[in-house]
Amino acid sequence: MLSLALGFFVSLLITLLIVRYAHLHAELSADRDLNGVQKFHAQPVPRIGGVGIFIGLVLATLQLYFTRYARVADGLLIMTACGLPAFASGLVEDLTKRVTPVVRLLATMLSALLCWWLMGVRITHVDVAWIDPWFGMALIGVPLTVIAVSGLANAINIIDGFNGLASMVAFMMFVSLAYVAFQVGDPVVLSGSLIMMGAILGFFLWNYPAGLIFLGDGGAYFLGFILGELAILLVMRNPTVSPWYPVLLAMYPIFEVCFSIYRKRFVRGISPGIPDGVHLHMLVYKRLMRWVVGAKTAREMTQRNSLTSPYLWMLCLLAVIPATLFWRSTGVLFAFVVLFALVYVWLYVSIVRFKAPKWLIFRKGKASGSV
C-alpha cells in the first residue's frame, strides 16, 4: 500500500505543479482547439496529465527497488521503459500537434514488441482447443500481442473525451487486476496495478470535475499500454486466470473501437481514421442531457462535461464487475462479453433514435446544485 500512496502523492504533486504554472507552458501544452468535433471544453487546458502519472509510476517503483521487492521493481521498470515509445509519441503530439495517429500507433506497437523481447510478455492461449496450439508459436502469438496491446492503448485514447472518463475507466480496471493478482499471488501485476491506481487518482483529482488538466494522448496511450501488458502477463503466468478475463475487463473501450470501425466503414462509408462526433460518450453528452442546449458559459460547459462521464463509468462496470467475479470461468466470461456487446448496441441505437429510457435522460431540473 506504500507504493499506492507514493504513486498517488507524486502524481498529485506533479499534476498540481503543471496546473499551477500552466501560464508558463500553455503555448506548448494547452489544448486550444475548442471547436473540433471531439472537443467539449470552454477554454484552453493543459493536456499533459500523463506526465504526473508516468513520474508517479517511476518513483513509486524505484521505492520498491530499494526494498525486499527489488525483483518486482525490476520487472515494472523494464515494462515502464518499454512503454516509453508509446508515452513519448503521445506526449510529443500533445505538445506539437504534429504526430499522426499512424506514427503513434506504430510507436505503441514498438513498445509492445519491446516488452515481448525483454520480458517475454505475449498471449499464449485463448482457451479454444483448436486455436491454442498456434499461440505456442511466437510467429503467431507475438503479432497478436502487439495488435492487442496497441489496440487497447488506442481504445483508451478514443474514449478520452470527457473529464474523468478514461482515467476512471482505467482505474476501475487496475482495481480488478490488483484483486485477481492478489488472489493468484502475482506480486508484479499486483504492485504495478496498485501503483497505477495511486498515480491515476493523483491526476484524477485535478481532472474531475473541474477539468483543470487533461490526460492527453501521452497519458492515454501509456495507460492503455501498461493495462494491456499487465493483463497479458497475469494470464500468461497464472493458468487459473482465464484469457477471456482481460477481454471482458476491457470490453468497453475495446467494443467502442470495434463498433466505431464498423459504423464508419460500413454505415457511413468513411475511413475509420476520420474523427467524428458520434461516439457513444458524445451521444450521451448531446442527447441524454436535454439541458445541454442551454447556456455556453465556461462553468456550465464544464459541468455538463463532467456529468457525462458517470454514464460511461456505469457502462464500464457492467463488464468490470462480472470479469472480477468470474475471472476463472471462460464460459461465463464469454457469455458476458456477448451480453455487453448487445447492451452497448441497444443503448447506442436507442440514443440515436431518441428512444433512450426516460430514467437515463438528464434534465435541467436534476442539475441544480451540481458542481
Question: Along the 371 residues of the chain, how does pLDDT read in single tens digits?
Answer: 788 999 999 999 999 999 999 888 878 877 655 454 444 445 678 999 999 999 999 999 999 988 878 889 999 999 999 999 999 999 999 999 899 999 999 999 999 999 999 999 999 999 988 888 888 788 899 999 999 999 999 999 999 888 999 999 999 999 999 999 999 999 999 999 999 999 999 999 999 988 899 999 999 999 999 999 999 999 999 999 999 999 999 999 999 999 988 888 887 778 777 777 788 888 888 777 655 545 565 666 677 788 889 999 999 999 999 999 999 999 999 999 999 999 999 999 998 888 777 767 666 554 443 33
The predicted pLDDT at position 24 comes to 84
And the C-alpha cell for 259?
A: 463498433
And the C-alpha cell for 69?
A: 521487492
- The CB density around residue 62, as the number of other CB atoms within 10 Å, is 13
**What is the distance between the alpha carbons of residues 322 and 128, in angstroms, rounded to a whole number?**
21
Phi, psi (degrees; rounded to nearest 5) at 246: -65, -25
Rg (CA), the chain: 20
Any idea where the domains of the chain sit in the sequence?
2-367
HSE-CB for 90 with a 13 A CA cutoff: 33
**What is the distance between the alpha carbons of residues 348 and 335, in angstroms, rounded to a whole number?**
20
Alpha-helix runs per DSSP H in 159-215 = 165-184, 187-207
Is the CB of residue 31 less than 8 Å from the CB of residue 41? yes
Largest CA distance in the chain: 59
Q: CA nearest 75: which of 190, 198, 172? A: 190
Three-class DSSP category at 235: helix
The predicted pLDDT at position 298 comes to 61
Which DSSP letter does residue 21 get?
Answer: T
**What is the distance between the alpha carbons of residues 76 and 70, in angstroms, rounded to a whole number?**
10
The predicted pLDDT at position 295 comes to 54
And the C-alpha cell for 123?
A: 498471449
